[in-house]
Amino acid sequence: MMHRALLAMTLSAILIVSGLFGCEKSTDNPSLPIGPGFEVGFWASEGMGMAFAPLPIQHAVKSEYSLFNMNNVALDLYYGSNGNLDGLMYNDRESDCEFVCYSLFFGDVDIILQIDNDPDYAKRGDGLFSDYHLSGGYFIKELSLDEFNSVEYSFKIFNNRIEINHHEVVIVPTGVFAKESGTFYFRIVSVHFSEKHNGYYVLPWGRAAAINYERIDEQTVRLSAHSG
């Protein structure tokens, strides 16, 4: 009987300690993240410049979930190239600019419009950036020309579905969710340095993967694929 009593007391103590530790974690909803998931950018109609002419760079986003703790929004990013990138500026083949890298970042609609709406600004000598880690954008990584042309980053199209070889999980910065609701983008740009103008041109490639967000409360955010 004594042994049983000691065992019961020991188990009770373990449960109490476990409960205390569990209370420390209760500030986060233990049920998050929650599905259903979503994806954007995987169909050819989303990433084609014209019929049967896939753009040389493709990027897409996938998640098994839609409801997240705002401090731990993990998305699976897919991106690749056709393997024939030359690092030249697509709107000015004779430019004096030197290719720097391909840059991946998250950004809101303002920064996307800034670089997407005027693809010819590099010809005019304006639209320069002093730092290609764009203000208002959230830098993810850089890729060299050789790296992005490698088989690891290849893609193919099968039955109108874009199959991208490379993907990785990235945590979305909380600063992306600055408003109660909105849209943020996963975007790839090529970066070129102009010695003449002493600044960087940042040129968009492909179609940005757009994701809607809605803040449910101070800690929770709901994501969905943006349409249109």
* DSSP per position, 135-174: TTEEEEEEE-HHHHTSGGGBEEEETTEEEES-EEEEEPPG
Radius of gyration of the chain (CA): 23
Residue 1 domain-assigned (yes or no): no
Task: Find out whether 70 and 222 touch, Cβ atoms under 8 Å.
Answer: no
Residue 28 domain-assigned (yes or no): no
142 residue type, one letter: E
Segment among 37-41, 66-70, 137-141, 206-210 with least mean pLDDT: 206-210
Of 47, 37, 45, nearest in space to 187 by CA? 47
Of 167, 157, 159, 151, nearest in space to 39 by CA? 167
Asked whether residue 126 carries a pLDDT value surpassing 70, the answer given is no
Residue 17 domain-assigned (yes or no): no
Domain of residue 63, residue span:
33-225
Residue 22 domain-assigned (yes or no): no
- pLDDT on residue 110: 77
Residue 4 domain-assigned (yes or no): no
* Integer Cα distance of 207 and 189 in angstroms: 10
Q: What is the DSSP letter of 122?
A: H
Residue 24 domain-assigned (yes or no): no
- pLDDT on residue 204: 82
The helix/strand/coil state of 15 is helix
Residue 78 domain-assigned (yes or no): yes
Model-level pTM?
Answer: 0.77
Q: What is the DSSP letter of 121?
A: H
Of 23, 54, 53, nearest in space to 41 by CA? 54
The helix/strand/coil state of 45 is helix
Total domain count, the chain:
1
Cite the DSSP H helix spans in 34-90. Answer: none
Q: pLDDT tens-digit profile of 164-215?
A: 999 999 999 999 999 999 999 999 988 888 887 788 888 888 788 999 999 9
* Most confident of the following: 57-61, 96-100, 127-131, 196-200: 57-61
- Average pLDDT of the residues of the chain: 78
Residue 99 domain-assigned (yes or no): yes
